[in-house]
Amino acid sequence: MKKSLVLAMAMALGVTASAYAANPFSDVPAGHWAYDSISKLAAAGVIDGYGDGTFGGDKLMTRYEMAQIVAKAMAKGASVERLAAEFADELENLGVRVANLEKKADNVKITGELRFRYVDQDGAMYKKIVPAGDGVSGVLGNDSNHAADIRSRIWINGMINDDWTYTGMLQNVQNLNNNTGDENTSFQRAYVDGKLGGMAVRAGRYNLVIADGNIYDTRADGLELSYGNKLKLKGFAGKATDGITVVPVNITDGKDTLIGDIENGGKYWGLAVEGELAKGLKATAGYTKFKDMGTGFVESLGAPSGEIPDFFYGKTDIDNGIWHAGLSYDIGHFNLSAMYLKGDLSADKLNGMTDENQVNRAIDQYLDDDGFVIGLSYKGAKAEDAGSWGAWAKYYDQGAQTYVAHTTDANTFGMTGFKGFGVGANYTLAKNIVANVAYYNTESKLMKELPGIAADLDRTKDHRFWTDVTFTF
For 81-106, give the DSSP string: HHHHHHTHHHHHHHHHHHHHHHHHHT
Q: What residues pair up with 320 in beta bridges, in sequence order?
A: 290, 345
C-alpha span between 339 and 408 (Å, rounded): 14
pLDDT tens digits for 265-292? 789 999 999 999 998 999 999 999 998 8
Contact 414, 248 (CB under 8 A): yes
Please state the rounded mean pLDDT for residues 122-132.
50
C-alpha span between 109 and 341 (Å, rounded): 39
Contact 374, 422 (CB under 8 A): no
pTM, to two decimals: 0.70
What kind and span of H or E run contains 242? none
C-alpha span between 36 and 39 (Å, rounded): 5
Asked if the model's pLDDT at residue 155 lies above 80, the reply is yes
Label residue 118 by pLDDT band (50, 70, 90).
very high
Label residue 206 by pLDDT band (50, 70, 90).
very high
C-alpha span between 323 and 449 (Å, rounded): 26
Contact 408, 349 (CB under 8 A): no
Q: What residues pair up with 424 in beta bridges, in sequence order?
A: 392, 438
Residue 468: per-residue pLDDT = 96
Transcribe 46-84 into DSSP letters.
Answer: S----TTS---TTS---HHHHHHHHHHHHHTT---HHHH
Q: Which residues contact 313 (CB under 8 A, 6 or more apart)?
A: 297, 298, 350, 351, 352, 353
Range with the poorest average pLDDT among 34-48, 207-221, 362-376, 417-431: 34-48
Contact 200, 225 (CB under 8 A): yes
Please state the rounded mean pLDDT for residues 223-241.
92
C-alpha span between 212 and 438 (Å, rounded): 19
Transcribe 11-47 into DSSP letters.
Answer: HHTT--SS--SPP--TTS-TTSTTHHHHHHHHHTTS-
Q: What residues pair up with 216 in beta bridges, in sequence order?
A: 210, 405
Range with the poorest average pLDDT among 175-184, 207-216, 323-332, 337-346: 175-184
Asked if the model's pLDDT at residue 110 lies above 80, the reply is yes
Give percent of the chain with pLDDT exceeding 90.
40
C-alpha span between 450 and 367 (Å, rounded): 9
Residues 149, 151, 156, CA angle at the centre, nearest 5°? 175
Residue 77: per-residue pLDDT = 61
Please state the rounded mean pLDDT for residues 34-46.
71
One-letter amino acid at 186 equals S
Give percent of the chain with pLDDT exceeding 70.
59
Range with the poorest average pLDDT among 76-80, 183-187, 420-424: 76-80
Please state the rounded mean pLDDT for residues 43-72.
68
Label residue 176 by pLDDT band (50, 70, 90).
confident
Provide the CA 12 distance to its chain's centre, in angstroms: 52
Mean pLDDT (the chain) is 76
Residue 123: per-residue pLDDT = 62
pLDDT tens digits for 398-430? 998 999 999 999 988 877 789 999 999 999 999
Label residue 310 by pLDDT band (50, 70, 90).
very low
Residue 104: per-residue pLDDT = 55
Contact 351, 292 (CB under 8 A): no
Q: Which residues contact 360 (CB under 8 A, 6 or more apart)?
A: 249, 250, 350, 450, 451, 452, 453
Asked if the model's pLDDT at residue 369 lies above 50, the reply is yes
Residue 14: per-residue pLDDT = 56
Label residue 368 by pLDDT band (50, 70, 90).
confident
The residue that leads in pLDDT, 411 or 469, is 469
Cα-based distances in Å from 392 to 17, 395, 422: 70, 11, 8
Asked if the model's pLDDT at residue 3 lies above 90, the reply is no
Q: Among 2.60.120.260, 1.10.10.10, 2.40.160.10, 2.40.50.100, what is the CATH number of 112-472?
A: 2.40.160.10
> b/e string for 413-441 if b means 16 or more Cβ within 10 A?
bbbbbbbbebebbbbbeeeebbbbebbbb
Residues 92, 95, 100, CA angle at the centre, nearest 5°? 140
Asked if the model's pLDDT at residue 116 lies above 90, the reply is yes
Asked if the model's pLDDT at residue 91 lies above 70, the reply is no
C-alpha span between 339 and 30 (Å, rounded): 81
Q: Which residues contact 461 (CB under 8 A, 6 or more apart)?
A: 123, 124, 442, 443, 444
Residue 129: per-residue pLDDT = 46
Asked if the model's pLDDT at residue 186 lies above 60, the reply is yes
Residue 299: per-residue pLDDT = 43
Sequence ranges of the domains in the chain? 2-103, 112-472
Residue 289: per-residue pLDDT = 96
Range with the poorest average pLDDT among 299-313, 323-337, 370-384: 299-313
The residue that leads in pLDDT, 351 or 445, is 445
